Amino acid sequence: MTASQSPHDEPPTGTGARLLPGASLDSTAQLMHAITSRLGSRLGSRLGLVSLDGTPRPAPPPLVLVAHGSRDPRALGTVSTLVERVRELRPHLSVRLGHIELDEPLLPATLASLDTARDPRAVLVPLLLSRGHHVKRDVPDAAAAVPGLRARVAAPLGPHPLLVEALYARLVEAGWHTRASDAARRASGVVLAAAGSRDPEAALDTRRTAGLLAERLGVPVVAAYASAATPTVPAAVRAMAARGRHRVAVASYFTAPGRFATACAEAAPWIAAAPLGTHPAMARLVLHRYDQALATPEPASERELAAS
């Protein structure tokens, strides 16, 4: 198991696996189910490329996953693994990776590599958890700088129930008690640690996720930040303690390991969850945002408006 994997991550299944001598009937059934599920997924994907009249359908536009980038080498490995998981879920979709900064490939290089003469379309899915400058300006500006590219920028990943699913799973892995007594719940709380932004809509998105997680856990959840916004994670932990909540966990609202995620985890007085990383819900959410962007009517370009 790699550092980016967890007990909740689904291991890859290959059709070339062999049964070991003495394998139980249950394990045999599980293996056969995994094989047939994988084959069924591939068959369904192939059938999706053919119209009802048997003619080939046009290929879907490429999905460009936009990561922030980090000096922590674990971040690139985590994001690259997530890209592979998205490809496994939709084998005939072209999935690319581009970074806003610090890691390669950088987003402009990834966009420049697209064959816009063959297909000018692309959907950019930010691997970001809330609205902010990167989503509103940096990503659209990078797409607009590529001649001939007709790009749609999907919504950020959060807030969304699938993120809450991943956050909950990471907390349980870290030691969160799913069947705590009433007394333990009254003494417990969670700080949702996020990167932070000066954009008020980013803070609103993070607080909405905190509310959804509180509903799932049945304890208070407070949003806190590593930079650019308040409260800080240590301040949120102290505020929880002042209210009698001494069993405080830190939920990592980061897509991958990095400096901010590490600093927030170190402020945890009890347990600290791992970043969202390659949890299966993350790959499903990336594809949901992709499909959502495609289902949104394409706005008229400035050139079309000028010509009208």
Centroid of chain to Cα 138: 19
pLDDT tens for the chain, 308 residues: list them. 444 444 444 444 443 443 334 444 444 444 444 444 454 444 444 545 555 566 577 899 999 999 999 999 999 999 999 999 999 999 999 999 999 999 999 999 999 999 999 999 999 999 999 999 999 999 999 999 999 999 999 999 999 999 999 999 999 999 999 999 999 999 999 999 999 999 999 999 999 999 999 999 999 999 999 999 999 999 999 999 999 999 999 999 999 999 999 999 999 999 999 999 999 999 999 999 999 999 998 765 544 433 43
| Separation between Cα atoms, residue 230 and residue 55, nearest integer Å | 56
Task: Sheet with 188-194: list strands edge to edge.
Answer: 221-225, 188-194, 247-252
| Separation between Cα atoms, residue 279 and residue 183, nearest integer Å | 31
In eight-state DSSP terms, residue 247 is: E
What are 279-294's pLDDT values in tens digits?
999 999 999 999 999 9
Give residue 189's pLDDT: 98
Give residue 298's pLDDT: 72
Q: Which helix (H) or strand (E) holds 150?
A: strand 150-153
| Separation between Cα atoms, residue 97 and residue 99, nearest integer Å | 7
Secondary structure class of 60 (helix, strand, coil): coil
Give residue 41's pLDDT: 45
